[in-house]
Structure formats: C-alpha cells, structure tokens
Amino acid sequence: MVERDLNPLRRLMALPNESRAKTIIVAFLVSAVCAALVSGATVMLRPIQAANRAAEEQARIASLVAGIPGMSALLEEAGGTLSTVVIDLDRGRAAEDVTPATLDAALADPGNWTALTPAEDLAGLGTRPDFVQVYLLREGEEISLALLPVSGQGYGGRIDAILALQGDMNTVAGIAVTHHSETPGLGGRIEEASWQAGFAGTELRDEAGTVQFRVAQGTATGPYEVDGITGATRTGRGMTQIVRFWLGPEGYGPLIDAIARGEF
C-alpha cells in the first residue's frame, strides 16, 4: 500500500495544474499574501504619510506668515516656530485629551462633531468639529499672532482658508485660501495674492463687539470691509459668512474671549 503524504502543501502541488481545486486554492493563497503585504505596508507607511501631511501644512503656514508684513522678522526673533495647539471649541481652551497626533482619530468619531441649527450655520457646514488645530505665536507671554483654520460653503463648493489675526484678535493680519471650487476667473480669484492682500488691516468687530466684517459688492468703503470680486457676489457672500461664523460663538468666539481675558 502506498503511504499517503500528510503534508497538505505537497499534496496541493502534486495536483495537476488543470485541477480546479488547485487553481482556487492557489488564487486564494496569493490573494491572502498580497492582502497581508498591503496591510503591512499601510501600517508601516502611516507615520510617514502623517509626517508628510504635517510638513505640507507647516509649509502652508510658513508661506502665509512670510506674506504678512513684519511677521517674518518677528518669527526670526522668536526662533521661527509657531506653537501648535488643539482647541476645544466649546470651551475655548486647549483640549485635554486630544493632541495634534491624535486629532484625526478623534475627528473620526462622530461624537466629536456638533450639528448646527440653520440659525447657527452661517457657513453652511451642517456639522462643526469640536476640536481644531490652531497655530499661535507668542511674544513673551502675549499672543502676537493667531492662525485659525476656517471653512464653509462658497458658490461652487467648500472653501478652506487660514485666517491670521493680530494679537488684539480683532485685526486681520492676512488670509490664505488653501482649497476652493469656485469658478475660474470669477470666484476663483479668491486664490489670488492681490485679493487676499486686501484683508490685512481689516477690523472684525465694532466697539460693541459685534462682528461687522464683510466682503463688499464693490470697493471696500469702511474699516470692516474688503474689496469684492466683480461677477462673484455669491463667492464674496460665502467668504463673509465663513469669517462671521468662525469668529462667532460656535467657532473661535470662546477662544477669542479667553485670550482677551488673558486666560490663554
């Protein structure tokens, strides 16, 4: 009697190549090995991808700061580094359990997002993250510059930008539009440096503390306005609402109030 080979691999390889069972099993094994390799590569590359995203964000921040008059010299005096803080928007304080490294994981939890009512949702977001990463530059104990990510709906889709505020938290130092889907040659001009330059020096609130900022329909006529873009009224209105939302109680309002009280 011929002794039966108990090794399953040798038994599989001994099957003829035309065997349907051999074809299915080999295909399954190859797929399993490829899946394991892809999963392993994903895990290994995740820290590199996170580092690359952080480097890209820092490069955008550096580009914004470089374009603000006097800010490059101030950064050099301070060592050229902005501090990064994750803010709990509801409290207007640094988040206790969320760091820049864990922010993405925190925002993957739907429980860390707040649904906005139509009256609250000036920017057309629908929901707002409870935690946002901001960048602060200090001169001694005082905050001299705050870089605040803002977002909302324009005419063609979502607009993302970084709003830079001077230490008084009421004067715009600059703005950088980082993403938009507006019409080229019309609303798409919000990405032009010449238009963004008009934000510098614009005041945000009146003496009563009410946000008055707006993008004008034509040429700016007051301290709270920036020039509008011809033929892009809805884009300008979107930018107005984005800034007003993020400076309000559902956005950075609690943080701004805390800074004004010297509590941050």
Cα separation, 92 vs 89, in Å, equals 5
Domain limits, the chain? 8-50, 67-260
Whether the full predicted model's pTM is greater than 0.75, yes or no, is no
End-to-end Cα separation, the chain, in angstroms? 86
Give the integer Cα–Cα distance in Å for 22 and 2: 22
Closest to 152 (Cα-Cα) out of 50, 53, 250, 259: 250
Closest by CA position to 170, among listed 131, 121, 94, 223? 223
225-230-232 Cα angle (round to 5): 85
Q: What are phi and psi of 174, to 5 degrees?
A: 175, 175
User: Residue 12: what pLDDT?
Assistant: 62
> pLDDT by residue for the chain (264 residues), tens digit each?
445 656 666 666 676 767 777 677 777 778 888 877 777 766 676 667 666 766 676 666 666 566 554 456 545 654 556 788 899 999 999 999 998 889 999 999 999 999 999 999 999 999 999 999 998 888 777 888 888 999 999 998 999 998 989 889 999 988 888 888 888 888 888 888 888 888 989 999 998 889 999 999 888 889 999 998 888 889 999 999 999 999 999 999 999 989 888 877
Displacement of CA 216 from its chain's centroid (Å): 26
Q: What is the pLDDT of residue 1?
A: 47
Q: How far is CA 11 from CA 8, 138, 139, 236, in A?
A: 5, 71, 74, 72
**Residue 132 phi, psi (nearest 5):** -140, 140
pLDDT at residue 142, as a whole number: 81
Question: Which positions ≥6 away from 189 have C-beta within 8 Å?
Answer: 182, 195, 229, 232
- Contact status, residue 133 vs residue 127, Cβ threshold 8 Å: no
Q: Phi/psi at 38 (nearest 5 deg)? A: -65, -45
pLDDT value at residue 37: 77
